[in-house]
Chains A and B, each alone.
Chain A
Amino acid sequence: MAEEKIDVNYVAHLARLELSADEVALFSRQLDDILGYVRQLEQLDVENIEPMAHATPVYDVMREDHARLSSGTESALANAPERNSDQFRVTRVVDS
């Protein structure tokens, strides 16, 4: 299998992170090392092992559909940098 590289600049953009050129070089090397480490798993024989949907073998953790009292508007907005008519206010974002 061809060795996959992580495009750090692209991933940083997706995560909205601004990285310096030095950081890009550093993280590229570190992430490639991690991928190489994880790649060891490819050598395991998983022929008869069922894929897991989750790391913990626990299923069906659900709650009944009962509504409870919420925290309320004041509590929600307590840390809002700006508010307007009981709502959070942020810089205008274009509809997308």
Chain B
Amino acid sequence: MDYITTIGLEVHVQLKTQSKMFCACPAEYGVQPNSNTCPTCLGLPGALPVLNRRAIEYTVLAGMMLGCETPPVSKWDRKNYFYPDMPKNYQLSQFDLPLCLGGNVPLYAHCYPKDAQKDIARPEQLIGLTRIHLEEDVAKSTHAAGGTTIDFNRAGTPLMEIVSEPDIESPEEAFAYLNSLRQILIYGELSDADMEKGQMRCDVNVSVRPQGQEELGIKIELKNMNSVSAVRRALHYEIKRQVEVLKSGGELVQSTRRWDDDLGETQQMRTKENAHDYRYFPDPDLLPVRTGEIIEKMRSRVPELPHQKASRFVADFGISDYDASVLSSDRDLAVYFEAAAKDSAAAKKIANWVINNVSALLNEHDIGINDCPVTSSKLSALVDLVESGELSNNQAKEVFSALFDAPDAEPDALARELGFEPAESGEIEAFVDEVITANPGKVAEIKAGNDKLINWLTGQVMKASKGKANARQVGDLLRSKIN
């Protein structure tokens, strides 16, 4: 029997604000424990919380980028529970009037795992959102044998929760959803949304049911996935586990399970018996917010979204859909490409360079594109040297590596320093003649119409010239001599 999988995600996102959600303590990490605290974020009696305007604006902007509706009035509620990371015994959150309702996350091909991009069940599917609300983060607990220690630096920092509809049908779609969402949030400059740094956290609800059954299966919640690919792995494991339980005649229990990425398995944490009843009620300390003005203000902040940028790159620069989606999936990489390509006649080649050579060297040095020592204009100048035939592609790669270490140098001067003189045309012609004479069979085939063999012959000339020749010029020369 076949089984249908249903997945819904709850994603928590840290917003890039200076201060906390309800007090003016700095929202920063990596400082002395409990140093960024005050009576409000420690939950001391009598403290008065006051809303952080920017956090509200950012959440409204997230909603605009994701096609949500924002109700005219939004309000704050108390979510009651007892846990030492939340000493006032309730979390300030939003219940019935959140900042955003509805909306969706688009799943474009480039958001899927690389190995799954060729086999997408529902291309460009939109995953519906239920809501986005704003709440406060809790303190950080560390559990050790002797007790639990608590640092309140994170307590009270703004946390945006994005809740999806149960519209996701596979681990690969969940992966694509998180990637797409992350890219959009980064484009909006709301969050760095790095799961490994805890800036984006994800709880997964997953159920399976036999094909043909109408009602959803027993819902099981998964926690503790620290990367987008861990979410995919956890789902693969859990779906298989649930299907096996059902196939062997067993019964599933509504429960929460914890993913152990080292062991590669989910483990039961708690069952529904002690499910929470939060008894939400309106917070009397916080006043409702009218959203009209905020929406107007944020309208101009809605950025070009990743898929829009990709379409524009295809239209403006003539690059392939694939290259455009790779570039636009990383906002900073897209900005770098565009700066290099905007005054160049060789945009396609620049796209290729950014995706391959530049990215490879950045990976090697373990730095991001914003820390790339070679400026976009230097890259553009270097690619121009290849286009004009002054450098071969291989030589240009060496110049690029050298530029990495000497970013102030000019590409053409550096090329001369490395001894890369443009190959003498007479010298290249001699190599071309040699290769033609040595391969009469291939030449005959080309004459008969097999143009692809030109590339093979070009390769021979390149080899003979020790990479100094410019491949395009060699190809042209071969064609003119053979035909």
**Interface positions of A (Cβ within 8 A of B):** 14, 16, 53-56, 58-68, 70-73, 75-77, 82, 84-96
Contacts and interface: CB of A to CB of B under 8 A. Distances in A.
Contact of A87 (B25, B52, B150, B258): B150
Contact of A90 (B18, B84, B288): B84
A95 B32 contact: no
A66 to B, nearest CB: 6
A67 B141 contact: no
Nearest to A82: B147
B449 interface: no
B34 interface: yes
Contacts of B287: 54, 56, 58-61
A63 B56 CA distance: 11
B24 A63 contact: yes
Which 6 residue pairs across A and B have the least CB separation, nearest first? A65-B54, A87-B149, A53-B288, A68-B24, A67-B26, A86-B33
Interface string B273-291: 0000101001010111110
| Secondary structure class of chain A's binding surface, majority of residues | loop
Given A61-B287, A92-B143, 13 more contacts: A59-B288, A60-B289, A64-B53, A71-B38, A71-B39, A73-B33, A84-B147, A85-B33, A87-B149, A89-B149, A89-B150, A92-B147, A96-B269
A92 B146 contact: yes
Contact of A64 (B54, B256, B279, B282): B54
Interface string B73-89: 10100001011100000
Chain B interface size, as a band, is 35 or more
Contacts of A70: 25-26, 35-38
Contact of A54 (B75, B82, B83, B151): B75
A73 B35 contact: yes
Contact of B17 (A58, A65, A93): A65
A83 B288 CA distance: 38
Interface of B: 17-19, 24-28, 32-39, 42, 50-56, 73, 75, 80, 82-84, 97, 141-152, 256, 258, 269-270, 277, 279, 282, 284, 286-290
A73 B50 CA distance: 22
5 contacts: A61-B50, A67-B27, A70-B35, A73-B33, A93-B83
B112 to A, nearest CB: 31
A59 B284 CA distance: 12
A55 B24 contact: no
B34 A96 contact: no
B34 A88 contact: yes
